[in-house]
Amino acid sequence: MTDIAHTGRQARAMGLPKLGRARGLVNAAIGMAGLLALWWLGGRYVANNPDMMAFASFAPAPTLARLVDMVASGEVIDMALPSLSRVGYGLAYATAIGVPTGILVGRGPRMHEITNVPFQFLRMISPLAWMPIAVMVFATWDAAIIFLITMAAVWPILFSTAAGVRRIDPAWLKVARNLGANPFHMLFTVILPAIAIDVLTGIRLALGVAWIVLVPAEYLGVTSGLGYAINDARDTLDYSRLAATVVVIGMIGFTLDALAGLLVKKFNWMRGGQ
């Protein structure tokens, strides 16, 4: 009897992860079904309201039909690639600025005291508030947009990096110094591996902020990208294309965040296994 009970517990224990994953997928499907139901109800209300009938193309059926056409024609790729390029450049610049600055702030208590108030002040300024300055300073619209994305993305990376540096066990640094590590070795063999998860988490947060800032930033003088597509669809009263572009923005943003989350989990697992 004891062996049977033990076997049953083992079977249940082996089945729990699979059940948990299946339950997560089912709950996600329920959530998406609820969202689609609310969208459908909103579309029905708009279509039946005489004052809002012009916006009936926002409903799921015309939106999804237009989305299929946009995917088949390659329009989605054409509008997404410039936006992805701008976000990529903005994140690269933000990482190049945020990680070294975060390490300096995290390593020096006095540096943290000097920079904390100015950095917090600058962080609370909307990145879009820099738009007039960006237009005056940079020669091209693309450069201005990348600057705005950089201003939005740098702060999560900087503060996450600084917090990770402050959490490093001082004993690690002491042991490294006792073993003769120079500052170069200290940085690349102790500090950066110790804060890698913090940096990746900051980049993931920065990616979300950058993706949100991207669309209004692309309302500037560019003639490509997802923000331009939204603006163009609005000006031409092509509401099904506008709604389909909104769906594309959400799908790409969700995919980018999911990929960043997988990278964080994988790196965390690799570090834990060492």
Residue 259 has pLDDT above 50, yes or no: yes
pLDDT of residue 99: 94
Amino acid at 209: V
pLDDT of residue 16: 47
Average pLDDT over residues 72-80: 92
Residue 221 has pLDDT above 80, yes or no: no
pLDDT of residue 263: 85
Average pLDDT over residues 151-157: 95
Average pLDDT over residues 136-157: 93
Mean pLDDT of the chain: 84
Residue 213 has pLDDT above 50, yes or no: yes
State both tokens at 42. 């909103």
